[in-house]
């Protein structure tokens, strides 16, 4: 079992929005890596499919898939991000969806800063299991 190494010792004290800031980048890498792993290599198709993941509404739905799997600490981090001050939703999502998406990204940021890469992969795959299945089925039917 690989040892987890914290990247930033002060991660526990960061605000929910700061955790979401780094988590957004971590999440983007997960999406890109997942799509490439499906064998999709055309840039236009990769960009089209990435939208299925990065929209606040998609992330809001995805967090619901993994909430029962979160530890108490992970749940607290999700709530810290979700309840952060200064969040204003874009026109494409409700404030509730955007807040859940911010909490989702905060969780990924926290896990990344604590070196929990295996946990990130596990939660990401569980969160978007159906989405990846649908993409795979769509690719097979082309």
Residue numbers annotated as active site = 24
Handedness of CA 12, 16, 22, 23 (dihedral sign): positive
Q: Largest Cα–Cα distance of the chain, in whole Å?
A: 48
DSSP 68: G
Q: Residue 26 in contact with residue 112, Cβ under 8 Å? A: yes
Cβ-defined contacts of 36-41 (< 8 Å, 24+):
38/132, 38/135, 38/136, 38/139, 39/139, 40/135, 40/139
């Amino acid at each position: 079992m690989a040892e987890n190494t914290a990247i930033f010792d002060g991660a526990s004290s960061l605000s929910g929005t700061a955790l979401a800031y780094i988590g957004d980048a971590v999440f983007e890498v997960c999406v890109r890596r997942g799509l490439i792993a499906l064998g999709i290599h055309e840039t236009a198709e990769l960009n089209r499919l990435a939208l299925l993941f990065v929209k606040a509404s998609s992330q809001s739905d995805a967090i619901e898939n993994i909430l029962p799997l979160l530890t108490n600490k992970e749940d607290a981090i999700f709530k810290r991000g979700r309840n952060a001050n200064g969040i204003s939703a874009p026109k494409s999502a409700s404030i509730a969806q955007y807040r859940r998406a911010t909490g989702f990204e905060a969780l990924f940021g926290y896990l990344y800063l604590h070196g929990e890469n295996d946990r990130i992969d596990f939660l990401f795959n569980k969160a978007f299991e159906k989405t990846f299945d649908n993409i795979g089925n769509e690719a097979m039917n082309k």
